[in-house]
Amino acid sequence: MAEQDWLAGQFEQNRPHLQAVAYSMLGTLSEAQDAVQEAWLRLDRSDPGGIGDLRGWLTTVVGRISLDMLRARKARREVYPGSWLPEPLVEDSADDGPEHQAVLADSVGMALLVVLETLTPAERLSFVLHDVFAVPFDDIAQIMDRTPDSARQLASRARRRVQAAPQPDRDVARQRRVVDAFLAAARGGDFDALLQVLDPDVVFRMDLGPGSRLAHRPLAGAGPVARQVLATAPRFAHLAQPVLVNGEAGALFGTRDEPVAVIGFTITGGRIAALNLIADQDKLRHLTIQP
C-alpha cells in the first residue's frame, strides 16, 4: 500500500506536465484528461521497479495514447463543417486553479495548435514531443515503431510547416492594444478602422460545432473579413471582454457562466494575421467550471 501511495503521489506531481503534453497533442481538454487517466491505469498495471525515468516514461505513454486517439478521430474530422479549432484555454483572473495555470504555462499557443491540426498524427507527435517537450528522437521512434531518423524527418517536415505560418508577436501588451482597436472598430461599425488593424492576408476561421448549418470555409483577405465582422458585430461586440486565450490576447463574448464564443488572435507585425472564433458550446463548457 505504501508503494502504491508513493506511485500515486509521483503521478500527481507529473499530472500538470502530462496534461500539457496531451493537450498540445489533441487540442481538447476532455481528451487530454482521458489520455492522462489512461496513462495512470497503464502505470498502475506496470512494475514501477523497472522504470528508471518515471517522467520520461509517462510522457512517452501519453504520447502513444494521444497518437492512437488522433488516428481514431481522423475520419470523423473529414466531415466536420467549417473549421475544427482547439478548445481554448481562457485566463481572465488570478483565481484559476493550479492545474489550469500549469497547462497554460506549459502548452502551446492557439496559432501553433491551428498549424498542428494540418499535420499528420505522426508529424504532430514527433514535433510536439521533440520541439516542445524535448523528448529524444530515440524515444519518439519507439512510440511509432520507426527509426530515429524517420522520427527526425517527420519533425523536420512539421517544423517547416510551423515556420511558414505567421509567427505571433510575443509582447502581450502590444497584442492587447491591437485587439482593443479591433473591438472598438467592430463596435463602431468602422470598416476603414478594421482594415487598419487587419493584415492584408488575414484569415478568419470559425468553429460553430458539428451540428451548425452556418459553418463555412475560412475567410481570407482584409476586405472580406472586415465585412464579415461588421455583419455580426452589432449583435455581439458589446458582449466582448478582454481575456488571454492560450496565453495571448483574445476576447470572451459573454461570461464564464454563459459563454457565447471565444476569439483567439494571431498578431504579427502589429496587425491581426488570424482570427480563430470558437462558438461550439461543447468546447466552451469547461469555462463554466470554477476552481
The DSSP line for 200-229 is EEEEEEEE--TT-SS--PPEESHHHHHHHH
Structure letter (DSSP) for residue 237 = G
Place domain 2-85+120-164 in its CATH homologous superfamily: PhyR, sigma-like (SL) domain (1.20.140.160)
135 backbone dihedrals φ, ψ, rounded to 5°:
-80, 130
Instruction: Give start-end residues of each CATH 3.10.450.50 domain in the chain.
Output: 172-288
268 backbone dihedrals φ, ψ, rounded to 5°:
-130, 125
Residue-wise pLDDT tens digits, 56-74: 999 999 999 999 999 988 7
For domain 172-288, is the CATH number 3.40.50.150?
Answer: no
The yes-or-no verdict on residue 169 having pLDDT over 60 is: yes
Classify residue 89 by burial, with Cβ atoms within 10 Å: 0-12, 13-18, 19+. buried
Alpha-carbon distance of 62 to 89, in angstroms, equals 20
Instruction: Give start-end residues of each CATH 1.20.140.160 domain in the chain.
Output: 2-85+120-164
Share of the chain above pLDDT 70, in %: 90
Alpha-carbon distance of 215 to 165, in angstroms, equals 24
Contact 34, 44 (CB under 8 A): no
What pLDDT, on a 0 to 100 scale, did the predictor assign at position 17?
Answer: 94
The yes-or-no verdict on residue 266 having pLDDT over 80 is: yes
Alpha-carbon distance of 250 to 191, in angstroms, equals 20
Cα–Cα distances in angstroms (integers) from residue 286 to residues 88, 90, 211, 247, 271, in the given order: 9, 10, 19, 17, 30
Bridge partners, residue 250, by sequence: 243, 264
Q: CA geometry: angle at 238 spanning 290 and 168, to 5°?
A: 70
Residue-wise pLDDT tens digits, 85-135: 999 999 874 444 455 444 455 557 899 999 999 999 999 999 999 999 999
- SS3 category, 261: strand
- Rg over alpha carbons for the chain, rounded to the nearest Å, is 20
